[in-house]
A and B are shown apart, each in its own frame.
Chain A
C-alpha cells in the first residue's frame, strides 16, 4: 500500500496527474469507499486492502471531463469495465493514468459477521494470506481467506489487466467455481421453481437504486427510469411497471455490455444476487452467438449490435 501511495505522490508532484482516484479509509476496517485525492496530504487516508472491492472505472466518466489526467487504480476485473466505457466513448483513455493493482480476491464483510469487527489481519495489501485473523468485540477468530471472498472472485476472469500504464503488485487468479453453474442450476428448475426463486429474491428489492448507481454499464446521463421518454416517471419510483420490470429492463440494457464485474450484487443492501440476470444473458450470448467478454476488445462487434444470418430463432430450445 505504501508503494501505491508513494507512486501516487510522485505522480502528483511531477504534475503528470492532477488528482488520484482511489479508495479512502472509513470508520471501520471494512468501510472503504472510492475517493478522489487532490493532494499528497489527502493521500494519507488512501487505503488498499481486501475490502477495496469497489470498481473505480465508472468514476472516470466524470474525471474525463476535468482538466488534467487522473491517476486511477484498477484491479484486473475493473479494467474490463474501463475498456467497455472507452469503447462507448464515455471515458477518454488519454485522461487516465492507470496503475494496475494486484488483487488476490476481495472480501465480503458480511461473510465475517461485519458488525463487531475491530480489526482484520491478512486483508491488507500486500499482506493477504490464506487465512484472515479477525478481531471482534468478542475475541479473535480465524477464517480461510477464500471463505470470505466475494462471489465474483470465485469466478474471477483472470489476473491479467486488460489495460494499464503500469502495474504494481501481484495478482492471483482466484477462480474456483463455474461462472455459469448458478445460472444453469436455475435453468434446470421447473417454471414454478424458477418463478418462486425470483419472486422471493425480487420481492426483497427496495428500489434503492444502489445497483444502478454502482453499475459501470448503467452510466446513462439520465436513466430511462427517470425520463419522460417512456412515460415511466410520472410517480417517481412507484409506478408498478417500473417496480416490476426494473431489474429485467436494467439487465437488458446492459446485455452485451456488462462485463460481469459483480458490483451490483456486491452493493445490494438486500443481498439480491443481481448478477444472475446479467450472467444469464452472458451465458445465452456465449452459447448462441459465440464467446463474448465485454471489455476485452474495444473494436469487437457487440453481440446485440451485430448478427449472423443463421442466428437461432427466438424460443428455439425452449421446447
Chain B
C-alpha cells in the first residue's frame, strides 16, 4: 500500500486562474492512499521542491503526484526532487493540469473537474508504480563518421583534436566529397581545393583518425555508447601499404572507357584510377567492372609496370567489425536526375549542363583544363543562359518542394567568374527570386549585376530548343517587362536541385534514425537539437540534414563534434529503466514479441522455470534492458500478457482508464 502525496501547483495564475487548486487539494485528500495534499504557487521552484521533501519526511510518503505543467517540462525536475527526498524517482507521476487543462478551458468548474480527474488518474497510476533503477552502460570512446566530405572531415578533426579516436568511412576511393569537385567558393572566390586539401591532409595525418575509403557501412547494431558496426572494405586490388602513388599504372591502363565520376561523366577515366590528383589516400583503385584483367583474365599491364608490386588482383571485399560510442552521419548530397525535365533538353544537348558540371569545366583539373568551352564542338560560348530553380520549389513529383539554398549564390559566382575571365561572353540568368541571406551574400550578388554586367531576368524558361545550327533557342519570360523572350544561346546551365545522397535511406534504416519525406535526416528538435538525430548517439553533419552551404556545413560539423565529445567524455550512461520485462512464468516462448521489436532487444533462452514448485524447462523471452527503448510494441503482441512495460504496465494504464471513466 502506497502512501501518496499530491502537490498541486498554481503556476502563478497559469493554472490557478482557471483551476480551483484548493478544490483539487480537497478532492485529492479524499482519495484512497493519499496521505498528504497541498498546493503551492510554484511547485518547480526551490521552495516548492523543498515542500515536497518536507512532506516525504514528515508523512513517510512512498509515491508522489504533482499536478502541474506538462511532464515534458518538469518531470525530470520533480524526479530529481524525489530522489533528493529519498524516494525512487520513478515513484513520481505528473498530472498535466496546465497544457492539457487550464490553458485550454475557460470555465472554472469544468476545468477543475477535469483537473480532479487527471489527478485521480495519476494517483491510481502511482498506486501501481514500482521503484525502477536506471541501469548503466559503458561508453566506447570511439566515434564513427559516415561520409568523408567537408562535413565528415571537419567533424572527425574536431573530435580527434579533443583526444578521441575517430573512423571515417567513405564510399568513394578518396575523401574530399563534393567540395573537392568545386572550382571556387562563394562569396570570397577562394579556390576550393586550396582550402579543402589542407583539411584532408590534416585528417589523414591525425593520429586519432582512421580513414576507410572505398568502404561502406554494412550493418549497425547496439545503442548509444555501444554501437557495433560492420564495415565493408571493398576490394581495391591495390595494396595500400606498397603503393607509392606514382601513377604509372594509370598512364598505362588500356581500358579507357568508363565515365569519370569525379568529372560528372563529362569525360572518361582508366579502369585503375585515383579520382583526382590530390586524392587521399593517394592510392588508386581498380574498377572491377571495367578492368580487362578482372573481366577476362588477360591484360595485367598495371601489374607489369608497378615497380613496387602493389597490384593484387586476388583481393576480396573484407568486412571489419568495430565498436563505437557515437555515430555521425555526413553523407552529403547529389544533384537530382533531370530525366523528368525534358523541356530543358539536358539529355538532348551536350551544351545544356548542370552547375556542378560547369564547376568541373571551369576547374583547371577538369575535362577541358579549365577552358570554358562547349562540350559539343569545343567552341567558346558567347551567350550563356543560366536557369534557376530547376527541380527546386516544385510541388509536383518531378522535383523537390524545398529551396536548394545554394544555387542563387553559386550562379552569381559562375556568372561573375565567366564575365571576369571572358568579358566578351554574355551571361543571362533567369530567376524566380534571388535569395541571398548570408554574410556578404547580397553584396556578392549585386556585384555580379553592377560590376560584371550579368543580365538578370525575373522569369522562368519554358523550353530550351536545340537548333539545326548547333545553337540553343531559349524560350523564357520576363515577368517585369511582361514579354516572352526568345534567346539564342551557346550554352545553358541548369541550377539543378540537390537531394540527399540516395544511400542515406539505407543508412538511416540501419541506424533507426528517422528521415523526412525528402530523405533528409530528421533532427531531434528543429531548433534546440539541430545536430542530433532522435536516435540517441546518432548525430547529423552537413547536407544530409538539409540544404546548406560550406560555412554552414562546417559550423554544423563542429557542433556535431561537440555533441559527440560530450558523449564520449562520459564513462557510463544511464539507461532508461522504463523497459519491457517478460514474466517467465507466463511466457509461451512464441517469438511474436521478438518479431516486432525494432531494436533486436528480445532473445530466447531455454530456462529452468520454477512454477510454484513445479520445475520445467521452457523457452522464454529475455529482454536486454540496455537495448530496449521502451516502445511497448511487444507488450501488445504478447498473447499471454507475459510481456509488460515497466513504468507503463498494463495494470497502470488500466488503472488510469478506470480512474478517468469512473
Contact = CB atoms under 8 A, between A and B. Distances in A.
A88 B637 contact: no
B591 A229 contact: no
B600 interface: no
Interface in A273-319: 301-302, 304-306
B230 interface: no
Given A224-B640, A229-B641, A304-B637, A90 B589 contact: yes
B228 interface: no
Given A230-B651, A231-B651, A302 B585 contact: no
Given A89-B589, A224-B640, 6 more contacts: A220-B586, A221-B586, A222-B585, A222-B640, A231-B654, A304-B637
The interface centre, meaning the residue of A227, A229, A305 with most chain B CB atoms within 10 A of its CB, is: A229
Contacts of B591: 87-89
Interface in A87-102: 87-90
B596 A88 contact: no
Nearest to A232: B654
A93 B32 CA distance: 53
A59 B291 CA distance: 63
A305 B589 contact: no
Contacts of A228: 651
A229 B583 contact: yes
A64 B285 CA distance: 57
Interface size class of B (residues with CB under 8 A): 20 to 34
A190 to B, nearest CB: 28
Contacts of A230: 641, 650-651, 654
11 contacts: A65-B616, A88-B589, A221-B587, A221-B640, A223-B640, A229-B642, A229-B651, A230-B641, A230-B651, A231-B651, A231-B655
B588 interface: yes
A219 interface: yes
A269 B641 CA distance: 28
Nearest to A256: B592
B65 to A, nearest CB: 20
B595 interface: yes
A67 to B, nearest CB: 13
Nearest to B637: A305
Interface in B539-593: 583, 585-592
B589 A227 contact: no
Report, nearest first, the 7 A-B pairs whose CB atoms are least far apart: A220-B640, A88-B590, A305-B595, A224-B641, A229-B641, A253-B639, A89-B589
A89 B590 contact: yes
B619 interface: yes
A88 to B, nearest CB: 4
Given A65-B616, A221-B640, A305-B637, A227 B586 contact: yes
Contacts of A301: 595
A87 B594 CA distance: 13
Contact of A90 (B590, B596, B655): B590
Interface string A211-253: 0000001011111100111110000000000000000000001
Contact of B596 (A87, A89, A253, A305): A305
A302 B595 CA distance: 9
B646 to A, nearest CB: 13
Nearest to A255: B639
Contacts of A223: 640
Given A229-B650, A230-B651, A305-B595, A88 B588 contact: yes
B640 A88 contact: no
B518 to A, nearest CB: 16
A229 B637 CA distance: 15
Contacts of B585: 221-222
Nearest to B636: A304
Interface in B616-641: 616, 619, 637, 639-641
B644 interface: yes
B650 to A, nearest CB: 5
A254 B588 CA distance: 14
A169 to B, nearest CB: 32
A113 B649 CA distance: 50
Contacts of B586: 220-222, 227, 229
A227 B637 contact: no
B623 to A, nearest CB: 16
Nearest to B596: A305
B637 A90 contact: no
The interface centre, meaning the residue of B588, B592, B639 with most chain A CB atoms within 10 A of its CB, is: B639
A168 B596 CA distance: 40
A217 B586 CA distance: 15
Contacts of A219: 588
Nearest to A230: B650
A3 B332 CA distance: 72
Contacts of A221: 585-588, 640
Contacts of B650: 229-231
B589 A220 contact: no
Contacts of B589: 88-90
Contacts of B590: 88-90
Nearest to B619: A89
Contacts of B595: 301-302, 305-306
Contacts of B640: 220-224, 227
Contacts of A87: 591
Contacts of B592: 88, 302, 305
Interface string B427-465: 000000000000000000000000000000000000000
Nearest to B609: A221
A121 to B, nearest CB: 43
A146 B650 CA distance: 47
B641 A227 contact: yes
The interface centre, meaning the residue of B587, B588, B637 with most chain A CB atoms within 10 A of its CB, is: B588
Interface string A78-91: 00000000011110
Contacts of A220: 586, 588, 639-640
Interface in B596-625: 596, 604, 616, 619
Nearest to A304: B637
A224 B588 CA distance: 12
Contacts of B651: 228-231
Nearest to A85: B590
